[in-house]
Structure 1
């Protein structure tokens, strides 16, 4: 698989709350950069070394390469993130409670199929991506057009289940299907002080399984 899957926060820090806070912040930064700017080997070295704290030798074993190659990939990844300014972008992110509040407002608008309400929660340069597909929607206008299509095609009766992954708040979306609700997507949000700037949408059985999400919910 050539794209980076979301990592459930429950897998981080071995249950240590203090460590989890540090790892969530680092992982959020690494994930945003890895999706856009890094090669597969670079993103693997970055996540394993800087986020999950594996040693260079352990990382080399996992990636099937040498310690020298891991160190080189990690150095390139760090330099690339610095060049793109992602480190500076992450420095001004809001507190976790503020991020959660933005996403909760988004969830409320989503449940109401309120496209205008969703658009008001977005930054002007917002991006919606759907890995592994390469199509992106940029700006609130295009974002809103896509969401109108979603509600027209999949209906306006949904249930949402909050999740945390990659240090980000999000939810699993279940759409109405007969006498219950079927799993549709997992959505993660990158939040700035000015609103939601990125939505990453996943619709992959492997991702759903990693989060232990049930295929259906009762009505």
Structure 2
């Protein structure tokens, strides 16, 4: 049952029907706050339910969109109370792993999740501006997870949504001075966990990105893993939650792929292409030796830079394939 079916009140239902146009950007907002696609979907639904209940008291001192963001932010803050952050393996504070060592799964950790991209609408639509690629890139979302929830909210509202400090203060119930202090601390923390890079990130639809993705997929599908060395930057990182290790540099990434990949030769791996977090995704299907069918295996979210592929997060959660609209097998 959707929230539109909760009551037959025409005013509230008309409001919610109109407010649905903000659903995608609210989903991105809740995802930035939580690092979880699943949690974000639930929190957007809760946001609409709270808005429906409070609609008669809405005084229209702000736009409906701003009002919904305020509700969504406070819904997220409540939900995050007492919860641990959602990390990637490289954010656990442990050194890079031995690519020839044992792999350790950590299902007790709530890992960061990817966010599927959707086709963009009219570029003049504010939601397109709000959901800019940089504001949902995995590296940024992972860095946000290091911040306490209130700092996270302030930084997102101020620097992603471009709200004034007074608007943020009113939204989360603190003083303007407190907002400025929280923002300063959040920026300092982000600088520590996510230092600026010299090479710029490339959009997923540029010719250079397409060429690198073609070569990346070809190396795996032809089982010519050594070719991967040519594609990665010198400081490239590979990680694959729920395994808690991370791997540093092209040589270790290639060694890991050779030593631990269940493929045995050309044709064992096939890929479909999609996008997540404003980044290219190579969805890997591994051939089942018993049935010969290629089955969903990993979602590779690539960070492509002007100097090469700098980061791959290979998500092992095959349930994500359905969330991305991808088949379970080929």
TM-score calculated relative to the size of structure 1: 0.75
Match of 2:329 among 208, 216, 219: 216
TM-aligned CA distance change 1:73 to 1:135, over 3 Å: farther
Match of 1:181 among 294, 316, 323: 294
Residue equivalent to 2:272: 161
In the TM superposition, residue 49 of structure 1 has moved relative to its aligned partner by 4.2
Match of 1:32 among 139, 152, 172: 139
Q: Does 1:4 align with 2:112?
A: yes
Farther-moved stretch of structure 1 (131-140 vs 110-119)? 131-140
Deviations 1:109-131 (A, max 9, x none): 11111111111101111110113
In the TM superposition, residue 206 of structure 1 has moved relative to its aligned partner by 4.2
Query: 1:190·1:197 contact (CA, 8 Å) conserved in 2?
Result: yes
Residue equivalent to 2:187: 78
Q: Give the number of aligned pairs.
A: 205
Q: Which runs of 4+ in 1 moved over 6 A?
A: none
Query: 1:127·1:138 contact (CA, 8 Å) conserved in 2?
Result: yes
Aligned to 2:132, the other structure's residue is in SS state: helix
Gaps of 5+ in 2: 1-85, 87-109
Query: 1:23·1:51 contact (CA, 8 Å) conserved in 2?
Result: no
TM-score calculated relative to the size of structure 2: 0.52
Query: 1:188·1:200 contact (CA, 8 Å) conserved in 2?
Result: yes
Q: How does 1:17-166 map to 2 (within 5 A)?
A: 17=123, 19=128, 23-28=132-137, 31-36=138-143, 38-39=146-147, 41=149, 45=153, 49=157, 53=161, 66-68=172-174, 76-84=185-193, 86=195, 88-89=196-197, 92-96=200-204, 97=206, 98-151=208-261, 153-156=262-265, 157-166=268-277
Structure with the larger RCO, 1 or 2 (CA within 8 Å, 6+ apart): 1
Deviations 1:120-148 (A, max 9, x none): 10111111011343200111111111111
Farther-moved stretch of structure 1 (94-103 vs 124-133)? 94-103
Aligned to 1:188, the other structure's residue is in SS state: strand
Give the strand-richer structure, 1 or 2: 1
Q: Which structure has the bigger radius of gyration?
A: 2
Query: 2:199·2:307 contact (CA, 8 Å) conserved in 1?
Result: no
